[in-house]
Chains A and B, each alone.
Chain A
Amino acid sequence: METKEQKISVRAFGMIAEKIGSAQIQLIGISTIDELRESLFDQFPDLKNMKFSIAINKQLASGNAPIPADSEIALLPPFSGG
């Protein structure tokens, strides 16, 4: 199944980047938001206690949205600009 093998690039910002120790990670075999969360919580259990939203190609994702191939995923902690 080709979609299961897709490699996605995940960018992290703010306190999420600080917690995972990197501003960018690669994940393989992720095709939905639920799979993404599961994979992240597996690798970085601390994220379970943190609030963050997820953007797919610069759009905030809701629910268990599908992640198309070659998407740019971003993990966004609560915004605090201004």
Chain B
Amino acid sequence: METKRTPKNIFVQGAISPDSIAKSIANHSTKTDIGGHSIFLGQVRSDEKPEGKVIAIDYSAYEEMALEKAFEIREAIFAKYPLSCMHIYHSLGEVKAGEICLFVFTSSKHRKAAMDACDELVERIKAELPVWGKEILDSENHVWKVNT
């Protein structure tokens, strides 16, 4: 049965808790056609900058556009890979160094589709979603994060 998918909220205020990630994994135990999950977790890194050491990232987004874009990416990835499930969560607001700011989760019958889809999703999220990270430094200054 074809179900119509609509844009979902992907944003989470603050850090993504390891508990919520564990729960999300557990939620799939009833989906017994799944044979493989692939998970990517982005963690805030404490880079040393000339201006100071990164202690947190404060994320902001053009939310309406980001949700439309995330939906477009989601549909494209679903069309390209035989996936059972796909989940995307991205933090907004402040996330401290060592905490999780991005959680991408794909599931499929066989591992390869889940792994390839997860990889492509992460790349597209970083390149195409209008989200910005302001790196808060221990010197009370900040610098704007640059994606490589």
Contact = CB atoms under 8 A, between A and B. Distances in A.
Given A13-B62, A74-B62, A79 B131 contact: yes
Interface string A61-82: 0000000000000101111111
11 contacts: A13-B60, A13-B62, A14-B60, A55-B130, A79-B126, A79-B127, A80-B131, A80-B144, A81-B125, A81-B126, A82-B125
A58 to B, nearest CB: 4
A66 B64 CA distance: 22
Interface residues of B, number: 26
Interface of A: 11, 13-15, 55, 58, 74, 76-82
B101 A13 contact: no
Contacts of A82: 42, 90, 101-102, 122, 125-126, 131, 147
B112 interface: no
Interface of B: 42, 59-62, 64-65, 68, 90, 101-102, 122, 125-134, 144-147
Nearest to B127: A79
A81 B144 CA distance: 11
B42 A79 contact: no
